[in-house]
Amino acid sequence: MSIHNPPHPGEIIKELCLDPLGLSTTEVAKALGISREKLYRMLNGRSGISPEIAVRLSIAFATTAESWMNQQIQYDLWHAEQHREELNVTLLTAA
């Protein structure tokens, strides 16, 4: 079952982790061991969550890296599917 227009994982980080805990971008970036700019880009949907960031988030927020990666995959896949008709791909079948 596909998700309809899933949120960017950065939105999830902000809404479920930063805001409820009253954490600033600076505090979270420091806790994650990344630059504030890198976190800012993720929170604003300008960059995705890499496997390494997923592990960092899982440690910081007592979650799983898989949950973060699944959110990123769902987001990326949904957006890729929006351009399915524009792809120039030929169906390959057995002869």
Residue 95 lies in a domain: no
Residue 1 lies in a domain: no
> Which of the four pLDDT bands, split at 50, 70 and 90, describes residue 95?
confident
**Cα–Cα distance between 70 and 58 in angstroms, integer?**
13
Choice between 2 and 20, residue whose per-residue pLDDT is larger: 20
Q: What is the pLDDT of residue 17?
A: 93
Residue 2 lies in a domain: no
Residue 94 lies in a domain: no
For 34, counting Cβ atoms within 10 Å of its Cβ (0-12 exposed, 13-18 middle, 19+ buried), the class is middle
The tens digit of pLDDT for each residue in 38-85 reads 999 999 999 999 999 999 999 999 999 999 999 999 999 999 999 999
**Cα–Cα distance between 10 and 13 in angstroms, integer?**
5
The tens digit of pLDDT for each residue in 3-23 reads 689 999 999 999 999 999 999
Residue 91 lies in a domain: no
Residue 55 lies in a domain: yes
Structural domain total, the chain? 1
* Six token digits for residue 41: 């880009």
Residue 37 lies in a domain: yes
Per-residue b or e along 67-89, where b marks 16 or more CB atoms closer than 10 Å to that residue's CB: ebbebbeebeeeeeeeeeeeeee
The domain in which residue 57 lies consists of: 9-86
CATH of the domain at 17: 1.10.260.40
